Chain A
Amino acid sequence: MKLYEYLAKEIFSKNGLPVPKGYLCLSPEDAARAALELGPVAVKAQILAGGRGKAGGITFAATPEEAGIATARLLGSEIRGYPVTRVLVEEKLNIQGELYLGFTVDTSDRRPVALASCQGGVNIEEVPPEKLVRLLIDPLFGFSSYSALYLGLRLGLKGELLKEFVSLALILYWIFMKYDAELVEINPLAIVEGHLIAADARLNIDDDALYRHPEIEVIEDGSELEKAIKNLGLAYVQLDGNIAVLANGAGITMATLDTLEKFGGRAANFLDAGGGAGAEPMAKALDLILDTGPRAVLINIFGGITRCDEVARALIQVKEKRGQTVPIILRLVGTNEDEAYRLLKTYGIEAFKGMPEAVAAVVSATQKL
């Protein structure tokens, strides 16, 4: 789960990291009031995506009026696909240098890693490898002051800045661990009047660890439909095509979308009903995607734990309930396959045993419409 910048900064500040003075604002009036107190400000759209500076999500304002105008322009606009509903109005920093510091998990080394660079303020993926210091952290030993010192020295820091960097890096790692973060990042870590300050903040919390952080308010990312289906415990991603897809298991669902694309179709969604899904969740999932108004539906089930006759019953149940629907193309093989085909036949529903045949059928069904 991604946190908004202002929430990440709240956590940073609470744990002793220096952040700019600022206020969360929901209206131009709020923003003008904040700017009256702060002087020249940065007005920053609060969205759950990076690269917002380039997309026009950050504006500087010299006066309260300008801050109000900038806020009015940002609120209600859309940046990188996210509607802006709130802005952070912060004191404008007189930045003399920009560094980068972050902690994340190196998934191939299976341990945390510290990342630091003397080239902050840009997308860290664009920093040349020789300018990026990576330090793997043994989770048994943690991240110690000598490691922080090593990083600071590699960035070329000296004196007071080096001291500040060491204590700041230790706190940032502490936050990374304490909040079950997947990523914690300060970019840029700004040098302002000889001191370090977190000009931006990113904190992504591991979804699977949220249950042990009741103090953190859950931020739901994604569209309303995505949220609704996710709340049913199903893995769902909205896509921009017109063929709704339902399959069982993440891998087979992805493979179904890939095949559909290669056959000239466009998927409306990714919906994984689960590797062992029974009739009930299957029917519910099918109902939901029919509600999204696709041109056709493709169901791809490899019955293992999921029994084919249960899938057939789910489909029959939904068809009986809804009456006329858009074409539903079914690919069904595996456990209790014969029983399933017998059931489907009595209801006049056609099913395919091969994935290519089913995908070709759904693509041609949408092209006929």
Chain B
Amino acid sequence: MSVLINEETKVLIQGITGSQGFFHTRQMLAYGTRVVAGVTPGKGGEQVLNIPVYNTVREAVEKHEPDAAAIFVPAAKAYEAAVESVEAGIKLVVIISEHLPLQDTIKLLVLAKTRGVTIIGPNTFGIIVPSKCKIGIMPNTIYRPGPVGIVARSGTLSYEVASGLSGIGLGQSTVIGIGGDRVVGLNFVECLELFARDPLTEAIVMVGEIGGTAEEEAATYIKNKKLIKPVVAYVAGSSAPPGKRMGHAGAIIERGRGTYQSKIRALTEAGVKVATYPWEVAGLIRQLL
């Protein structure tokens, strides 16, 4: 068992002929992901890495019935690309693209909800079930199958944590990047719910950062639902000055909201073990398992 995807998941790549789309499709294929089709308007009929390319998602869906789409399309076209997949009936859309206009994301999420589609991202590194399926841009080498679910706002920081876990023999059930933007689809709470129901997941790592209130909401969920699986959190940004955007669009303390202190307080009160440093996460998980 795993969360959202597994070895059967058939994946469509939008923007497969672009440099990012091409590079990461090759990586995903090397990982064993079942990439069944690509879409780039105007490039229909071509083959990329032995994968057929279509002009439209609808054609690709008619021929291959993909379960998930990964969007590697530049920001200005990413909204339309994602809507195309939603409208064509694909139930999981992973938006790797960064810098989508906020209003585009908001509109997309409303549409996705009406169709029962799960959106991961934008600005995410993707989702991976180690040794089974990878949809995203994370490195192929750092994950091992195992009992720890990871949900993170940041890519490289989650790689650091995953690699630390793998290093002491603790593999991962599923790793989900929810994205570094202010407004994202799948959020911390929804990921915790998925991990709570997943029999393979025995402990959960949350990698958060300053900005927004997603960590606080996760804390409230953990407290109220009495999530019985242990949770370890690391939150980046304890030293970040207010009003400055720290790399991610969502990583900003604005008008007194989104502070490190508020997140740590909420998580600690909910019984979450909070790591002071990223390299401590693996050890804390080992103590709890």
Q: How far is the CA of A302 from the CA of B157 in the complex (A)?
A: 8
With contacts A249-B156, A355-B279 taken as known, whether A270 is within 8 angstroms of B247 at the C-beta atoms is yes
Q: Contact string, B143-156, partner A, CB cutoff 8 A, digits 1/0?
A: 00000000011111
Q: Which B residues touch A211, using CB under 8 A?
A: 76
Binary per-residue interface labels of chain B (81-120) against chain A in the complex, 1 for a CB within 8 Å, 0 otherwise: 0000000000000000001111111110110000000000
Q: Which of A105, A124, A304 has the most CB of B within 10 A?
A: A304
Is the CB–CB distance between A180 and B160 below 8 Å?
no
Residues of A within 8 A of B109 (CB): 110
Interface check B57, CB cutoff 8 A: no
- From known contacts A138-B110, A258-B238, infer whether A107 and B182 are also in contact, taking CB-CB under 8 Å: yes
* Chain B, Cβ-Cβ closest to A248: B156
> Which of A107, A211, A252, A302 has the largest number of chain B CB atoms within 10 A?
A107
Interface of A is mostly: mixed
Give the docked Cα–Cα distance between A125 and B256 (Å): 8
Beyond A251-B154, A270-B247, whether A105 also contacts B239 by CB under 8 A is no
What is the interface residue range for chain B against chain A? 35 or more
Cβ-defined contact, A275 with B125, below 8 A: yes
Q: Interface with B: A146-154, A259-267, A341-349, which one?
A: A259-267
* Chain B proximity of A125: nearest CB distance (Å): 5
Which of B138, B155, B247, B279 has the largest number of chain A CB atoms within 10 A?
A: B247
Q: What A residues does B125 contact at CB under 8 A? A: 275
A105 contacts which of B183, B246, B278 (Cβ < 8 Å)? B183
**Contact: A254 with B237, CB < 8 Å?**
yes
Interface residues of B in 232-253 (CB under 8 A from A): 234, 236-241, 244-251
| B235 CB to nearest chain A CB (Å) | 9
Nearest opposing residue in chain A for B187, CB measure:
A108
> Is A208 touching B153 in the complex (CB atoms < 8 A)?
no
- CB pair A258–B236 under 8 Å, yes or no, is yes
Q: Show the binding face of B for A, using Cβ within 8 Å.
A: 75-76, 99-107, 109-110, 125, 137-139, 141-142, 152-160, 163, 180, 182-183, 187, 207, 209-210, 212-214, 217, 234, 236-241, 244-251, 255-256, 276-279
Can you give 8 contacting A-B residue pairs, CB < 8 Å?
A: A209-B103, A249-B156, A251-B180, A252-B156, A254-B154, A254-B237, A275-B156, A355-B277
A124-B255, A180-B103, A355-B160 given; name 14 further pairs at CB < 8 Å.
A125-B256, A139-B107, A139-B110, A177-B103, A209-B102, A211-B76, A250-B246, A251-B236, A254-B154, A254-B246, A261-B238, A275-B156, A334-B142, A356-B279
Interface set of A (CB-CB < 8 Å, partner B):
105, 107-108, 110-112, 124-125, 138-140, 177, 180, 182, 206-209, 211-212, 235, 237, 239, 247-255, 257-262, 267, 270, 272, 275-276, 302-305, 333-335, 354-356
